């Protein structure tokens, strides 16, 4: 769902390949029969972008923790069981690593019933742990933070390791492309610090045009990431005070050239910003996992929360260049990256 899971899978695959391992990346939604996976993806995309109240209800019913019985993801996930076990057997795989919660439900179910004969690990890539990530049948969990690891341990009696996020090396190194982005920003709005607004791969955001106008009125250049949403790109391109971008290949350079990032999902773009040393401000979060993740990042001191427009502008002021607040945020973001997740899989 979205590009974050794909990005993490691709980076883990790159690291494993570099060490001489043979890697196969499979989309669990494609393993579901009868076109169910494609339907789920379209339904999720539509609800997040156009019917956020509907997704909030789905999240509350299926994913959020709490007392009482809740629906399980296992009945849906196990429909992909035969195809996954056939794939594992055909490839002669030694381990299966899940980076999506439905995959974690599937591998846990199969391991608990002996259908999957190789170990299964789960890389839990969310700051907020929701219940569909959790299944006692999995052999190991890798988490972004100690808080997430503690949450997993409260529910499961399995080994849990805090590794930090998985990002490509380019996000933690000097970015050659940053100079080109700075030149572009200076031509567009001289003297205005660029502030990045992320709408994710699907262009899911709440009132991005209003946020862009707010930033412009505050003296900033709003740079809006519209992902692959061409309608959003066309609409925001008509905002004269901002810069709307489609899919960006040079994310390390873009992040290095910006003053801060306004985030609504606590997803992979936020993690990449932390790696690049770019402060993150949580504002107008998406419902469900977006709001939970943004809240958890703020609680951990990894981002600045902003509940309204004035708070957003005040946070940007506090995060000015060379300010103590900015130095603290950047240091906390860098400290999140502890271990190579691949090192925690080699003994399975």
- List, for residues 284-333, the tens digit of each pLDDT value: 998 887 889 999 999 999 999 999 999 999 999 999 998 999 999 999 99
CATH 3.40.50.2000 intervals, the chain: 170-335
The arrangement of strands across the sheet holding 221-225 comes to 243-245, 221-225, 194-198, 260-263, 280-282, 304-305
Q: What is the pTM of this model?
A: 0.91
Which residues are within 8 A (CB) of 325 and not within 5 positions of it... i.e. 6 or more apart? 304, 318, 319
Helix 4-18 × helix 268-276 angle, to 10°:
60
The predicted model gives 144-155 an average pLDDT of: 96
Q: CB burial class (10 A; 0-12, 13-18, 19+) of residue 57?
A: middle
Q: Is 244 helix (H, G, I), strand (E, B) or coil?
A: strand
Tell me, what's the pLDDT at 71? 61
Strands 160-162 and 194-198 turn out to be unpaired
Instruction: Give the model's confidence band at 241: pLDDT under 50 very low, under 70 low, under 90 confident, else very high.
Output: confident
Q: What is the pLDDT of residues 284-297, one digit of tens each?
A: 998 887 889 999 99
**Which token pair is 180?**
């080109």
Flag whether pLDDT at 68 surpasses 60: no
Q: Output DSSP code: residue 194.
A: E
Q: Which CATH class is domain 170-335?
A: alpha beta
pLDDT per residue over 265-274, tens digit each?
A: 899 999 999 9
Specify the pLDDT at position 200. Answer: 80
State the chain's mean pLDDT as an integer: 90
């Amino acid at each position: 769902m979205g590009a974050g899971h794909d990005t993490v899978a691709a980076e883990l695959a790159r690291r494993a390949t570099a060490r001489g391992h043979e890697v196969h990346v499979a989309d669990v939604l494609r393993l579901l029969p009868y076109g169910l996976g494609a339907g789920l993806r379209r339904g999720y995309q539509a609800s997040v972008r156009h019917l956020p109240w509907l997704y909030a209800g789905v999240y509350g019913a299926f994913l959020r923790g709490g007392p009482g019985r809740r629906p399980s993801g296992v009945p849906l996930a196990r429909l992909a069981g035969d195809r996954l076990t056939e794939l594992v057997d055909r490839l002669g795989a030694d381990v299966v690593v899940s980076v999506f919660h439905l995959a974690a439900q599937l591998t846990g179910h199969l391991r608990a019933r002996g259908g999957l004969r190789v170990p299964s690990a789960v890389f839990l890539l969310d700051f907020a742990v929701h219940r569909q990530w959790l299944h006692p049948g999995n052999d190991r969990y890798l988490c972004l933070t100690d808080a997430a690891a503690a949450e997993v341990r409260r529910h499961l009696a399995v080994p849990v390791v805090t590794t930090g996020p998985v990002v490509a090396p380019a996000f933690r190194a000097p970015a050659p492309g940053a100079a080109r982005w700075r030149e572009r920003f200076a031509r567009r709005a001289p003297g205005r610090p660029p502030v990045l607004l992320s709408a994710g791969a699907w262009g899911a955001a709440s009132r991005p045009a209003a946020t862009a106008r707010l930033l412009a009125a505050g003296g900033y250049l709003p740079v809006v990431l519209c992902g692959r949403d061409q309608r959003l790109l066309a609409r925001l391109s008509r905002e004269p005070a901002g810069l709307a971008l489609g899919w960006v290949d040079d994310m390390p350079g873009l992040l290095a050239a910006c003053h801060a990032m306004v985030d609504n999902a606590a997803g992979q773009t936020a993690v990449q910003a932390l790696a690049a040393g770019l402060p993150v401000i949580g504002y107008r979060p998406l419902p469900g996992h977006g709001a939970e993740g943004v809240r958890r990042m703020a609680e951990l001191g990894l981002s600045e929360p902003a509940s309204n427009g004035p708070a957003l502008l005040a946070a940007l002021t506090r995060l000015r260049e060379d300010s103590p607040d900015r130095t603290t945020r950047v240091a906390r973001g860098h400290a999140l990256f502890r271990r190579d997740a691949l090192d925690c899989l080699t003994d399975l």
